[in-house]
Structure 1
Amino acid sequence: MFESAAIGHDFTPGVENYLAELKVVIDTVDIDQITVVMHRLLAAYERGASVYIFGNGGSASTASHLVKDFNSGVNERLVRKFRFYCLNDNVATVLAVANDISYDEVFALQLRNYLRPSDIVIAISGSGNSTNVLNAVRLANAKGVETVGLVGFDGGELARTVDSCIHVPVHDMQKVEDLHFVINHVMVALLKEHLEYWAR
């Protein structure tokens, strides 16, 4: 039944429209915001800081992917390594805190255990209003730790709470997440190239 329902349907206009809209969104992203965050990451690398990153849902997978790209991609040929950690990948800890304390504390509690003043925190939230993300960022701010946000829509509370923000200004969660992935790969590719050049 599914196959017969799909026969003859032309998805081409929809695909073309989605990609055209995505191209428009790309042009709205502030490149300066990306370069500021890249400089912060480079400074964190040079001082041997740990970078803690986290998010919910699709943002959690973006966080996990970014950590993978830095730890196994950028670090590959470097003697001194980036130290990236994804807080939402520790499933047992996340579920224990959510069940025993509150889901709103799943990231903040972990940061209380780990954070040093030299570290950096990266929070990803499409809406910018996830309570557990905001709680963790406020904790980091209170400890004097640098904070970075990747947001969409109007930026939400997160955009106003972090030290640096990369904002994808579109009210469409799929396109926000698309661009967060692209921004991740831009930063990874350019930092890898820069650091490998100086490591020769």
Structure 2
Amino acid sequence: MTVPDDLTNGVEEYLAGLKNAIDSLNVQEIIVVMDQLLAVYERQGFVYIFGNGGSGATAAHFVNDFNKGIGQNLPKRFRFCCLNDNVPTVLATANDTDYSQVFVGQLRNYLNPGDVVMAISASGNSRNVLEAVEYANDLGAETVALVGFDGGKLKELAGRTIHVPVHDMQKVEDVHLALNHVMMSVLKKRLEGCTP
């Protein structure tokens, strides 16, 4: 079977761009966020994580990997909660109030100053994400953002940021998911007392 040149070229071009996106990461930003997650783990605070669309899917994946993937063999576990997973609450809030309130409305029920709010937004400009981070900052909770493109308003608003500085939605989302796996893998080894 002969593979058309346009398919081969398209795949190679995409993968080359993805490699460049990974190479553009600031490792120190990742380490600072991992240290923050270790601290909230030690004090048994909650991590409230959320995003829209593909970022929402990544947020749900974080919950799986941190709560189950890391914690399965540990006496103490991470406490991640994905705010976009409660579909009835998201829909009721969007319908009865405004879509900008779907995350902050839930934080008003749950968030304490010792918790961490982790927002994922490729553009960094999603209004519902910004509203939630502003509320968390005002309450005194710690805030973390995973962003792409130029970082948007969220890059300046969050206390800590991991920035994927590329202007391609798919590659930003790819790297955000990879960051979940990087942090999960390294922290799992750390907490299980293994040498990375």
TM-score by length of 2: 0.96
1:156 is the counterpart of 2:152:
yes
Root-mean-square deviation (CA), in Å? 1.1
Q: Which runs of 5+ in 2 are unaligned?
A: none
Offset at 1:9? 3.2
Report the Cα distance in structure 2 between the residues aligned to 1:67 and 1:118, rounded to whole angstroms.
Answer: 18
Q: Deviations over 1:64-97 (max 9, x none)?
A: 0011101110011110110000000000000000
1:106 is the counterpart of 2:102:
yes
Given candidates 11, 16, 19, the residue that maps to 1:15 is 11
The corresponding residue for 1:89 is: 85
Equivalent AA in structure 2 for residue 103 of structure 1: Y
Report the Cα distance in structure 2 between the residues aligned to 1:43 and 1:117, rounded to whole angstroms.
Answer: 13
Offset at 1:8? 6.1
Report the Cα distance in structure 1 between the residues aligned to 2:3 and 2:157, rounded to whole angstroms.
Answer: 50
Offset at 1:99? 0.2
Report the Cα distance in structure 2 between the residues aligned to 1:107 and 1:24, rounded to whole angstroms.
Answer: 32
The corresponding residue for 2:182 is: 186
Given candidates 109, 118, 123, the residue that maps to 1:127 is 123
The corresponding residue for 1:70 is: 66
Report the Cα distance in structure 2 between the residues aligned to 1:40 and 1:8, rounded to whole angstroms.
Answer: 47
Q: Which runs of 5+ in 1 are unaligned?
A: 1-6
Offset at 1:13? 1.2
Q: Deviations over 1:87-122 (max 9, x none)?
A: 000000000000000000000000000011110000
Q: Deviations over 1:24-72 (max 9, x none)?
A: 1111100000000000000000011000000000000000001110111
Report the Cα distance in structure 1 between the residues aligned to 2:3 and 2:118, rounded to whole angstroms.
Answer: 45
Aligned length: 192
The corresponding residue for 1:137 is: 133
Give the match's secondary structure for 2:66. Answer: helix
Offset at 1:12? 1.1
The corresponding residue for 1:177 is: 173
1:80 is the counterpart of 2:76:
yes
Report the Cα distance in structure 2 between the residues aligned to 1:8 and 1:22, rounded to whole angstroms.
Answer: 22
Give the match's secondary structure for 1:123. Answer: strand
After the TM superposition, which segments of 4 or more aligned residues of structure 1 sit over 2 Å from their partners? 7-10
The corresponding residue for 2:57 is: 61
Give the match's secondary structure for 2:114. Answer: coil
Report the Cα distance in structure 1 between the residues aligned to 2:3 and 2:144, rounded to whole angstroms.
Answer: 47
